[in-house]
């Protein structure tokens, strides 16, 4: 059988990858390109025609103060969350690899929040912030706890950050655990013999050898935080006074609540570009810092 003919190749390709190509194009490629087209139309989601409006959607995006506020808020939220998630995750990973009893149990336990969807997590924490902490504050008469943090503008942001840290720290911990395990014992022992304290071994030996873990975790947390939606919806719903509407929720509202699909899509694209630039830049800088033992 001749396996070098065009018809053989086409048949083989279609047999193995035909369905994949079709579904992938139908769900990802076509909508992406169609989305670019949508940004030049003013579609309301109902009418059959999609009037061409040129750059008007981009103009209204740039004029939409709420969008830029939401984007700035998302940036602040992301920076704080990303730092805290990674600090907590790194400490957890250090603790569960230091040879204490039951470390597998702890690993499994810290990972539990990742098993559950953001919607459910948000409602659980809403109960914690609105009821449990308030009850605790009242019974101990601690002023800062006796009203719900979710009711104040800065408090709601703070709550979102707490929940994100709690949600992602366990997942990132697993990646850092893998990083800690990849550092060979020989190097650690050599450092100890040369007189390094535990702290020095971590800072000067483990951390530089784990740069790829940091790059990985930072990329994952940055992209997830920038696109936060589920927890935002169930925990704060953008309240109070729209002070906790993150960029993704703003995009959703513009498109599906105010039926301005063109502007919504333009805003989604801008959000995507910002997120991609930050993520890729971080990976680029991180790769340069990688060393090998």
Partner 1 sequence: METLNERAARNAKIAAVLKIILLVILFICFIFPFVLVVINVFKVKADITSDPLALIGAHGFTFDNFPNAMNKMNFWRSFANSACITIFSTIFTLLLSAMTAYVIVRNKWKACGALFGLMIASMVIPFQVLMIPLVSLYGGLLGVLNHRATLIFMHVGFSLSMATFMFHGAINTNVPIALEEAAKIDGCNRWQTFWKIVFPLLKPTIATVAIIDAMAFWNDYLLPSLVLAKKELYTIPIATQVFYGTYSTDIGLVMAALLLAMLPILILYVFLQRYIVEGVTSGAVK
Stretch in the footprint of partner 1 (CB under 8 A) among 65-73, 152-160, 187-195, 225-233: 225-233
Return the axis-axis angle of helices 118-127 and 153-182, rounded to nearest 10°: 130
Residue 145 CA to residue 33 CA, distance in Å, equals 49
Please select the residue that binds partner 1; options are 84, 85, 174, 215, rule is CB under 8 A.
174
CA 234 to chain centre: 16
Would you count residue 259 as binding partner 1 (CB under 8 A)? no
Binding mask 51-90 for partner 1 (x = CB under 8 A): ----------------------------------------
Closer residue to partner 1, CB minimum distance, 207 or 283? 283
Stretch in the footprint of partner 1 (CB under 8 A) among 53-61, 65-73, 126-134, 153-161: 126-134
Say which residues have a Cβ less than 8 Å from residue 56's Cβ, sequence separation at least 6: 42, 262
Residue 204 CA to residue 33 CA, distance in Å, equals 47
Other C-beta atoms closer than 10 Å to the C-beta of 198 total 12
Q: How far is the CB of 260 from partner 1 (least distance, A)?
A: 10
**Extended beta strands in 237-287, E state:** none
Would you count residue 151 as binding partner 1 (CB under 8 A)? no
Stretch in the footprint of partner 1 (CB under 8 A) among 69-77, 143-151, 152-160, 253-261: 253-261
Would you count residue 92 as binding partner 1 (CB under 8 A)? yes
Classify the C-alpha dihedral 155-219-33-36 as positive or negative. Answer: positive
């Amino acid at each position: 059988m001749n396996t070098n003919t065009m018809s053989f190749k086409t048949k083989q390709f279609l047999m193995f990858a035909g369905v994949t190509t079709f579904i992938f194009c139908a769900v990802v490629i076509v909508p992406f390109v169609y989305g670019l087209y949508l940004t030049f139309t003013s579609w309301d989601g109902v009418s059959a025609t999609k009037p061409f409006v040129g750059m008007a959607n981009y103009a209204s995006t740039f004029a939409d103060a709420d969008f830029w506020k939401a984007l700035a808020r998302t940036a602040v939220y992301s920076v704080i969350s990303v730092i805290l998630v990674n600090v907590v995750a790194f400490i957890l990973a250090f603790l569960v690899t230091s040879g204490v009893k039951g470390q597998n149990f702890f690993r499994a336990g810290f990972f539990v929040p990742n098993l559950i969807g953001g919607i459910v997590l948000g409602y659980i924490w809403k109960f914690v912030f609105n009821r449990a902490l308030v009850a605790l504050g009242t019974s101990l008469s601690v002023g800062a706890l006796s009203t719900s943090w979710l009711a104040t503008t800065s408090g709601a942001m703070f709550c979102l950050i707490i929940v994100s840290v709690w949600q992602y720290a366990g997942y990132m911990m697993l990646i850092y655990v893998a990083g800690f395990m990849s550092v060979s014992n020989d190097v650690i022992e050599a450092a100890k013999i040369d007189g390094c304290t535990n702290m020095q071994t971590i800072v000067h030996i483990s951390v530089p050898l784990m740069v790829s873990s940091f790059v990985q975790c930072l990329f994952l947390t940055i992209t997830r935080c920038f696109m936060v939606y589920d927890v935002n919806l169930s925990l704060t719903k953008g309240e109070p006074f729209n002070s906790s509407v993150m960029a993704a929720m703003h995009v959703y509202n513009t498109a599906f609540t105010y039926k301005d699909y063109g502007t919504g899509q333009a805003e989604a694209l801008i959000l995507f570009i910002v997120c991609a630039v930050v993520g890729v830049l971080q990976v680029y800088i991180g790769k340069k810092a990688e060393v090998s033992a």
